Structure 1
Amino acid sequence: MYKRKLFYFGLTTAFILFLALLSTAISAHLTRENLLQSNIAQSLLVEHEKLSSISYRLFKQLTDEIIFGQNANQAYVRKKQNLIQQSINQIKKLEIEQRNALGLSFTKGSVEDTDELVRLIDEITVEFRAVVSSDNKAPLNQQAQLKRLLEVTIDDQFREAINSAVARQARVVAAINAKIEMLNTTILWFAIGLGALSIPLILYGCYWLFNQLYQPLILIANATNSIALGHYQKPISVKLDDEFEELATSINQLALRLQEHEKNAIKSRKQLELEVKQRTSELTEANLLLTKTDSRRRQFIADVSHELRTPLTIIRGEAQVTLRMQSVSVDDFNQTLTSILEQAVSLSRLVDDLLLLTRAEMNQINLEVIPTKIMSLIASEVAKWQKLNPSRAITFEASTELNEQLVTIDIRRIQQVLAILCDNAIKYSKSDQPIDISLHRTDLLITIAIKDYGEGISAAEVDNIFERFVRFSKHSEGLGLGLPIAKAIIEAHDGSISVTSTQGQGSIFSISLPVGHK
């Protein structure tokens, strides 16, 4: 019911607003058209007056030629003729625009009169030239041709034509101004009438709508105050309009639910206390883990410092020993430089590893990926490691259907991962134990598995094996950066790496790469 009342009020207001906007748009359009017509008419009137002024100045200059000789004022005459031509061109252009805007009946004769003016100016100019060329020695006041030119052609015909054109254009300007004045008066009275009609209607509608809203709002305000004070037993019991009735029902239901929530508050508080205790326990465990991680970080810094100190000490020692020698041969220099180069390469590799892990944390590992035959790549790596370890059996197994399988990867980075895993498999298994490498495809993934038969990895070590800085006591070699580097490279390829291990039976490292990675 109340929705219908709002609809009627909105419809009435929208209709009044539409009328106001429509009248404003029409008024703006008509005003713009009239102003355009007025500007054209005013410009045309100014041009006619300008043409009159320039023409009379031209006639004066031509008269001076008769008095002072044919070559007098030639430059001024040409300048005035050019100005007259420009003014005539502008008048013709404006008269065409005026005729298009006002119509033929309103501007009848304007274009034709301009042609007559042009003809008269040309005729006057020719007659002046004729008088100058006649070389008449008689006094000027006795020359009939000159007298007729000045008194008849200029004073009568030209003056009448130019005055007629100016007067006609002044009438056009006056008519347009009167039209604009009439339009402004009409718009003013229309606006007054529309305001006189719409303002009372809107005021009455607002008053009516306020009365329709006031009683339900008072009831709702009282109900919310009762709920705020804790009185939940049906705070609204009066029948309202359909829309407010739904709101009243919702408020009553809200009161009942608040009552239920208060009953459950104590239970929830107790449950919250229990959860806080549990969360505190979890935070304690997390703190212990952070402490453990910080300890590993400190150990890593110590290890890195040691790893950096050793090659730097060797480099400094080699340089100092060589510099102290009284007589140094080329072989001594070569031996010293070779030792320094080896230590510098070791330092460079350590820095590269640390830089790669830092870029991985910032998601800035740059990959140069190309479609690659993965089976050929792995076979090449297996052959290389077999050649480096001739006493160990390194086998590679893959189905023939994967011969042409392409995977979009960074070849150098994947070779680095395979090198890390193969080196670990060889390092942590006995020399007579084989290394098995296999390749297979499942759905959209290519999986590379590297299995060794060494001592295996404990469950505690497996959980942390891909973390940085982790180095287990029985595996004292290295800084614990190889597997984190391998993980970072594989994840940059949108892949994954995992390990399964049984102590005493060896470990299997699995690399999964998406076939469609780009």
Structure 2
Amino acid sequence: MFRLRLSLAFAALVALVCIQAAFVYRGANRVNDYAQHSRLASDILSELLELSASKQRLRVWASQQLMDANASPEVRDSLLTRMQASTEKLRTLARRDLSLWGGIAALEEVPIPPEVGQLVAMSELLDDNIASVRARLLGLAPLERGAEFASVWQELNGVFDVARGRDLRELINGAIERQRNVMPIARAATERGLDRLRQQTIGLAALTLAAAVVLALYLNRRLQRPLDRLLEGTQALRAGALDHRIALGSRDEFDRVAEHFNAMAAELQQHRHDADAARRRLEDAVLERTSELRAAHQTLQQIDQRRRQLLADLSHELRTPATAIRGEAEIALRGADKPLPEYRETLTRIVGGVKQLTGVIDDLLLVARAEADQLAMRFDAVDLSELLGDATEMAGALGARYNVRVQLEAPDADLPAVTLQADADRLRQALVIVLDNAVRYSRTDGAVRVSWQSTDSRVQVRVADEGIGIDADELPTVFERFVRGRRARVHRADGTGIGLSIAQAIVHAHHGHIDIESVPMQGTTVRIELPCLYSPTLSS
């Protein structure tokens, strides 16, 4: 559609240029005719004057010949030849002028002036006149003495001036006068033709320019809007807005370009979407793999840390009893022989040190296996009340040494027993560790209370003492191995600081949870939460 409009616009401009060229060509031809007419009028006038002058010189020659004044025949022949040539030129010019006037008359729709045809007829009379003059002059002889000159001269003038009964002198003079009058008219006509041609050329040029401006404005308006839309689309694509689409509606070639542009943008958008999706999948895979590698690295670091920590713990905890055993043996062997009871006492102390060393090794191995998820457990159905009773009884014997009461708060008689899926020996060990700490760090005449309560699927055991308590800044580290708080070290110098680590490992192996709350100088509460096979619907 737009191509058709553009073709029509160029066709209109070409048509205007062709019309302008036609007008210019026609005007130029008209001006050329007028110019030729002006030149012909000038040439005819020149030839008439030349003919008249040659005839006048022949008159002079004739008078000299009559008076026997040595008139030269060569001059006569030359003048006759010049007259003949002037006549031929005059005839040719007259015929050209007649033909030219025929074209001008047909173009301008005006009659041919009668003097044009008269000039052609006069040229034919001149041929006869020249022939008569030539014949008379060739036979002209000087006058005899006493002859009458006037009559002869009159007869010669008749030969010079009359042809076919017409007065050539009058005809030539009239023709000369008419040509003198025609020349200004021809020049004026030429000027008018030039002015008309100039006006037509300027008018057509202005019309062509106006048409070109109108067409340019129209095409610019028709081009500007779709080009702006295309430019806006390319800028949007360059800015990354691949969802941009060019509006349609012009129903021309630009609509087809816009359709291809929109298809290209949609394809680019799909490629970007696919690339983004692939990049996200790759990033997710990299993140997942990185997370796995980080977890594996952390696991390796933890395993290595545990290994190094275990070696450090073993070297630390084994050094003291080993040193004590070595010291006892060296003392026994030093010096002279000692009495048997003294050796027995030394061996008893050595056995005690070995038991302590074995206990530390067992505790460290238990913690190491728990951290490596290799803690062997033998699960079975265990009655919670019975388990708490045994642990409380064992802790009560220790409490009697420190004058500390250990009390198990019995649940309501109406509630059925709570059964746990547990390793009775290991769980009892954890409870005894907690009770042992509660007894050892309680004040004299203090009390340790053991209680429990259950929910639908879990049971919570509480061990509360009235001891020295733990400072708040030390609570986060109480389950770390070989860590003892400031108050604990002041209260009692012995202790390895590994008991709570063992208790935590055993509780975690039972899929339970252990935590501690404490208020300095008021007491500490340890809560152990475990899953149970059966629990009452009411809390005790």
- How high is the TM-score relative to the length of structure 1? 0.43
Scaled by the length of structure 2, the TM-score of the pair is 0.42
Structure showing greater radius of gyration is 2
